[in-house]
Amino acid sequence: MSAGLVDSFNRIHDYLRISVTDRCNLRCVYCMPEEGMEFEPSEKLLTFDEITEVVRVLANHGVRKLRLTGGEPLVRKNVEQLVAMLANIPGIEDIALTTNAIYFAAKADQLKQAGLTRINISLDSLQAERFAMITRGGNIEKVLQSIEAAYRVGLYPIKINVVLMKGINDDEIMDFLRLTLDRDIQVRFIEYMPIGHDDQGWKNKYVPLSTVLETCEGQGYMFEESAEVYGNGPSQNYRIKGAQGSFGLIHPVSNHFCQTCNRLRLTADGNIKPCLYWSDEFNVRPHLGNEEDLMKLFYRALGQKPETHEMALKLTNSSQSHTPTIRRMSQIGG
C-alpha cells in the first residue's frame, strides 16, 4: 500500500467521482442547453472493465469512496453491474449515486443488492410545474416515488440536492427545510456555479447560501450545527432543533472549501479532472494495463491541481490564474 494520493498542498485524495455517461434524460437549465448537446459516441466512453481497472489501481493507493454521476448515470445500460464490480474491489468502502431519480424507483432493489450504499437525488423544486420548467420536461411524481423507493431499500441518509437560483426557486427554501422535520433526510442547498455558462446569465441567478440561514431564522426556526451526517463532504451541516433530518450548505463560490478537497474526477470519456472548474484534463486510456504508468498520470494530475478554483472572481470579472473549463456540468460529472 502506498502513502496515498497527496497533492502539492498536502491534501489527501481518497474519493473518486466517476461519470459513466454524458447523456441525460432531462435538460436542466443550469446543466445543459435546451437544444441538448452533441453527446460522445458510446465507443468513446470508458467500459465497465476500464472503469473497474482504474478504481482497482486507485484503491491500492488509498481511494475508499466512489460516486457515480453523469449526465444521468441511470441512462447507462446495466449500471448496476458496474456497481457490483466496484463493490467487489478490496478497499472500496462506500459507493454513492447522484441521480435525477426519474428511473431510480425501478432499479432501487438491483442497485442496493449490487452494493450501492448511498444516494443523492437532484430536486430543484417541489412544485410540479416549476420542476418541469427547470428540468425542461421532468415529472416530479417519478422523483417522489424514487425517494420512497430509496427509503424502502434502506439507502440512508437520503440526500436531496437543490441548486438555488435567484428568481427561480429561492422562494422554496422553507418548503425544502420542512422536509427535514419528520424524516431522516438531508437537504443540501448548492450554490449555482459558473460552469460552462454565459457569465451574465449566471450572475443574474446566483444566490449566496447565507440566504438559507437568514430565511430559516426569519421564520422563527432555531437550528444548530450538525456533524452527524455520514459522507458530508464539502457540506456545512445544520439541524433545525427537534428535526429528524438536517440541511447542508455547499457554497463553492461564496465560501469555497478547496483547502479540504479530497476528490478527483474521472469523466465518461476517460479524462482525470483534478479540479471541477479548471480545464486541466489527463486521459487514462493510453495507460490502461500498466499500473505504474497509470499512477504516474494520476500524480501528474495531482501536481497540476491548484490551491483553489477562484470561482468567486467571476462575480467581479476579475482575472483568474488558470483557464476555466468549457465543458458543461453534464460532461464533467459535477
pLDDT of residue 332: 60
**Average pLDDT of the segment spanning 44-70:** 97
Say whether pLDDT at 333 is over 70.
no
Residue 238 in any domain: the answer is: no
Question: Which has the higher per-residue pLDDT, 330 or 11?
Answer: 11
Q: Is the dihedral of CA 133, 135, 137, 141 positive or negative?
A: negative
The CATH number of the domain holding residue 38 is 3.20.20.70
**Average pLDDT of the segment spanning 106-116:** 98
pLDDT of residue 183: 93
Q: Where are the beta strands (DSSP E) in 106-242?
A: 118-122, 158-164, 185-191, 223-225, 236-240
Helix-helix angle 104-114:79-87, to 10 degrees: 20
Say whether pLDDT at 3 is over 70.
no
Say whether pLDDT at 1 is over 50.
no
Give the pLDDT confidence of 197-240 residue by residue, as tens digits. Answer: 555 577 788 888 999 999 999 999 999 998 765 554 678 899 99
Say whether pLDDT at 315 is over 70.
no
Q: Is the dihedral of CA 51, 197, 13, 235 positive or negative?
A: negative
Say whether pLDDT at 106 is over 80.
yes
Question: Mean pLDDT for the chain?
Answer: 87
Number of domains in the chain: 1
Distance, CA of 278 to CA of 114 (rounded, Å): 34
Residue 220 in any domain: the answer is: no
Distance, CA of 330 to CA of 69 (rounded, Å): 9
Residue 204 in any domain: the answer is: no
Distance, CA of 203 to CA of 194 (rounded, Å): 8
Percent of the chain with pLDDT over 70: 84
Residue 108 in any domain: the answer is: yes
Strands 65-69 and 94-99 turn out to be parallel
pLDDT of residue 229: 56
Give the pLDDT confidence of 261-312 residue by residue, as tens digits. Answer: 888 999 999 999 887 666 678 899 999 999 999 999 999 999 888 877 555 5
* Domain span holding position 29: 5-163+255-332
Residue 217 in any domain: the answer is: no
pLDDT of residue 268: 94
Residue 222 in any domain: the answer is: no
Say whether pLDDT at 334 is over 80.
no
pLDDT of residue 235: 83
Residue 192 in any domain: the answer is: no
Give the pLDDT confidence of 143-159 residue by residue, as tens digits. Answer: 999 999 999 999 988 99
Give the pLDDT confidence of 60-91 residue by residue, as tens digits. Answer: 999 999 999 989 999 999 999 999 999 999 99
Residue 305 in any domain: the answer is: yes
Give the pLDDT confidence of 173-188 residue by residue, as tens digits. Answer: 999 999 999 999 999 9
